[in-house]
Amino acid sequence: MFDFLLDPAQLTDFLSTGLRLSIPLIFAAMGGLVCERSGVFNIALEGQILFGAFGAAVGAYFLGTPTGGLGFALLFGALSGLLLAVLGITLRVNQIVIGIAVILFSTGFTSFMSRVLFPGSGNSLKLQGFGPVAIPYLSDIPVLGPVLFSQDALVYVALLTVVAVYLVLFKTRIGLSIRAIGENPSAADSAGVPVFRLRYACVIAGSTLASLGGAYLVLTQVFLFSDNMSAGKGFIALAAIVLGRWQPQLAFLACLLFGFFDAFQLRLQFNHPEIPFQVFAALPYGVSILALVGLMGQAHPPAAVGRPYDREMR
């Protein structure tokens, strides 16, 4: 059953698959985490991945370069973040409701527009994507080299994002302010922290990060756009945030857990045709439930998350 772990070539393939399946989750989870740490629920991650994927396809198709695709993905992500921020922070609409609205809107909008913009719809595209970048010397290490150090550029970006989010949130003054407005916005406000501006910045930055997950799907994984290609990854990222107890490093591990179990599941199936495949498909979710109830203790979300800040409210 685990014989593939002993063969270096197969082990490399397994680990690379796991990492590749984790990357969109990592982007989305980091984006969602930044939003929630600042006190705003971002349920729309699923839609923002889709927007990112669509933007990447539009940019790469019309500008002909992967960088153009990346630019458009970021733009679409930022716009969806702005929409969330205006509705959720300024107009104080229920943040769960607007999240769902953005998801529904993204599904319809991208399906419709991809039929209008791309000849023969998005799944016949052959877009220009990013190629693998091998890091000298490090990529020659057996197993770990090909898995970690000869990946596509966006994989490195994802890993650096985790470090960056951690450093910004916990090692800088602005990170302290972000965490403060997520816990007690009125206290932060009275200490002179610009609550509204900072929440806007976090939501737009977080949404942009989530859209990178979609850009990754299009620009380094499949080079085309297909309807609904986010396929539930945004919701898994939400679970990863909770599983990681709103800590970037733990949420990162949770994403890896989901990604590797997915890869594991794809591998186990054909070794054991007599076991129903659904068992393996459900494995990552089973593990996350176990982790939630048993291993990680009680999860404490940021105290002010989901509650729009109103200076006049007592």
| Interface with another protein (CB under 8 A) | 4, 9-10, 13-14, 17, 20-21, 24, 111, 115, 120-124, 217, 221-224, 226-229, 231-232, 262-263, 266-267, 269-270, 273, 276-278, 281
Nearer to another protein, 279 or 290 (CB): 279
Least separation, in Å, of the C-beta of 205 and another protein? 25
Least separation, in Å, of the C-beta of 120 and another protein? 8
Helix axes 95-117, 66-85, angle to 10 degrees: 150
Nearer to another protein, 120 or 142 (CB): 120
Least separation, in Å, of the C-beta of 107 and another protein? 8
Least separation, in Å, of the C-beta of 228 and another protein? 6
Least separation, in Å, of the C-beta of 16 and another protein? 8
Least separation, in Å, of the C-beta of 32 and another protein? 20
Nearer to another protein, 36 or 262 (CB): 262
